[in-house]
Amino acid sequence: MASYLQLLVLVVVSSFVVMSESASVPVSPGLSYSFYSSNCPKLESIVRNHLKQVFQKDITQAAGLLRLHFHDCFVQGCDGSVLLDGSASGPSEQEAPPNLSLRKEAFKIINDLRGLVHKTCGRVVSCADITALAARDSVVLSGGPNYNIPLGRRDGLNFASRQVTLDNLPAPFSNTTVILKSLAGKRFDATDVVALSGGHTIGRGHCSSFTERLYPKQDGTMDQTFAKNLKVTCPTANTDTTTNLDIRTPNVFDNKYYVDLMNRQGLFTSDQDLYTDSRTKDIVTSFAINQNLFYEKFVNAMLKMGQLGVLTGPQGEIRANCSVRNANKLDLWSVVDQGKQPRFSQF
Ligand code: HEM
C-alpha cells in the first residue's frame, strides 16, 4: 500500500512538473489545446486506443511514429508534407535520402488513424495533427512523460524538394557544432538539442548510418566492446542490418540513452559528440542522473518542435487521404464544417 501511495505521489508530482514546464512554451496563433473539443471530442481517445493495440503487437512501431513527426516538422513545418506521395511536380520528400529509412508501417498507421478519426468525426482533423498526436502517444505508451499538445494544424498542399529536405535534416555523422548550428536556425538552444536527441532512447538505425565510425578506422571515442559488437552486426559499411539506438532499454522511453553516451556507447556521431563537446556535456550528464529533468526538457522541446511552421486557419487543407492532396482545391467541405468566414472560400 505504501509503495502504491509513493508511486501515486511520484506520478502526480512528475505530471505537475511537466505541465508547469509546458505552460512556458507559447502556443502558436491558430493552435489551441481544445481545438477539437466540440467537433471531435473523442479524437485523443481514438488515437490512443488504436495505438495501444498496434504497440501491443509491436512496440518498436512507436519509434517509427516519433521519427515521422520529427521529419515532418523539420522540413517545411509540421504540415504533413512528409506523408505526401510524389506527383507530377517531382519526387516526394519520402524519396529524399534521410526519409528513405522512415518505416513504411508508420505511414500506414497514420492513414489508419485518419480513417478511424474521420469515420467518427468527419473530415475535420488534419494528417499533421494526427501525426503529432501519434508521436506524443508513442512517447507515453513507451513509458515516457504524458503531456498535452496544442492542435489545429492544417495539411500542406506541397511537399519540399530533395535539396530542402536534405538541408533541414542533419546527418548522423554531423558533430555537435553542426547540429547546434542547424537547430539554432529553428530556435532550439543547446538544452533543446540534447533533449530532442533523447528521442534516440527508442528505435533502431541501419549500419550505413554509423559505420563511418567503424571503417576504415574505428572512432577513438567508442567503447571497445560496443565497437566489437557493432562490427559483428555490420561486417561491412553497407550491410543492410539494423541495431538498437539505446543498448540498455531499446524500447523504453527513459533516460538510458544519456547513460549510453556517458559510457561511450552512443550509436551515431551526432549522439556521442554531445558528450564530447563542452557546450553539451553537462546537459547530457544532468539528464543521465535525473530522468524527470530529461522528461521536462524533452516535453518543452517537443512542444516547440511540434509548432514549427504550422499552417492554421484558412491555410492548407484537411486531407481526405494523408498521402495525397485533395483533388478539389476549393476545400469547401471543411471550410463550412469549421464555421470559417466566407472569405476563406478562395482557398
Ligand atoms: C539531432 C539530429 C538527429 C539526427 C542526426 C538523427 C538521425 C537519425 C538516424 C540516422 C536514424 C536512423 C535511420 C536509419 O539508419 O534507419 C534515426 C532514428 C531515429 N530518430 Fe533520429 N536524428 C536526429 C534527431 C531526432 C529527433 C529530434 C527525434 C525525435 C524527437 C528522433 C527520433 C528518432 C527515432 C525514434 C529513431 C528510430 C526510428 C525507428 O526505429 O524507425 N531523432 N535518427
pLDDT at 160 over 50: yes
pLDDT for res 342? 33
pTM of the complete model: 0.91
Residues whose CB is less than 8 angstroms from the CB of residue 67 and which lie 6 or more positions away in sequence, other chains included: 102, 103, 106, 199, 203
Q: For atom 2 of ligand 1, which residue has the closest CA?
A: 170
From start to end of the chain, where are the E strands? 204-206, 242-244
Kindly name the residue from 50, 71, 118, 206 that is annotated as catalytic.
71
pLDDT at 42 over 60: yes
Q: What is the mean pLDDT of residues 177-187?
A: 98
Ligand 1 centroid distance, CA of 53 (Å) = 24
H or E segment to which residue 151 belongs: none
Q: For atom 16 of ligand 1, which residue has the closest CA?
A: 205
pLDDT for res 23? 55
71 is catalytic: yes
How far apart are the two ends of the chain, measured CA to CA in Å?
Answer: 59
Q: How confident is the model at residue 180 (pLDDT cuts 50, 70, 90)?
A: very high
pLDDT at 155 over 70: yes
- Residues marked as binding for heme b? 200
High-pLDDT (> 90) share of the chain, %: 85
Residues whose CB is less than 8 angstroms from the CB of residue 177 and which lie 6 or more positions away in sequence, other chains included: 277
- Cβ count within 10 A of residue 268: 20
Chain center to CA of 264: 24
Q: What is the mean pLDDT of residues 155-180?
A: 97
Do residues 294 and 195 touch, judged by C-beta distance below 8 A? yes
C-alpha cell at 37: 473539443
Q: DSSP string covering 84-115, please?
A: PPPBTTB--GGGSGGGTTS-HHHHHHHHHHHH
- What is the atom index within ligand 1 of the atom nearest the CA of 103? 41
- What is the atom index within ligand 1 of the atom nearest the CA of 183? 1
Q: Which residue has the cell 577513438?
A: 220
Q: What is the pLDDT of residues 206-257, one digit of tens each?
A: 999 999 999 999 999 999 999 999 999 999 998 999 999 999 999 999 999 9
Do residues 344 and 314 touch, judged by C-beta distance below 8 A? yes
- What is the atom index within ligand 1 of the atom nearest the CA of 102? 41
Chain center to CA of 260: 21
Q: For atom 17 of ligand 1, which residue has the closest CA?
A: 205
- Cβ count within 10 A of residue 301: 23
Q: For atom 13 of ligand 1, which residue has the closest CA?
A: 205
pLDDT for res 13? 43
Q: For atom 8 of ligand 1, which residue has the closest CA?
A: 172
Beta bridge partners of 243: 205
Do residues 246 and 255 touch, judged by C-beta distance below 8 A? no
Phi, psi of 294, deg, nearest 5: -60, -50
pLDDT for res 167? 97
Ligand 1 centroid distance, CA of 200 (Å) = 6
- What is the atom index within ligand 1 of the atom nearest the CA of 62? 35
| Protein residues whose CB sits closer than 6 Å to any atom of ligand 1 | 63-64, 66-67, 70, 101, 103, 170-172, 174, 179, 196-197, 199-200, 202-206, 209, 245, 268, 270
Mean pLDDT for all residues in the chain = 90
Q: What is the pLDDT of residues 46-66, one digit of tens each?
A: 999 999 999 999 999 999 999
pLDDT at 72 over 90: yes
pLDDT at 268 over 90: yes
Ligand 1 centroid distance, CA of 67 (Å) = 6
pLDDT for res 329? 57
Helices within 209-311 (DSSP H only): 224-233, 256-262, 269-272, 281-289, 291-305
pLDDT for res 89? 78
Q: What is the pLDDT of residues 76-133, one digit of tens each?
A: 999 999 999 987 778 899 999 999 999 999 999 999 999 999 999 999 999 999 999 9
pLDDT at 197 over 70: yes
Do residues 235 and 191 touch, judged by C-beta distance below 8 A? no
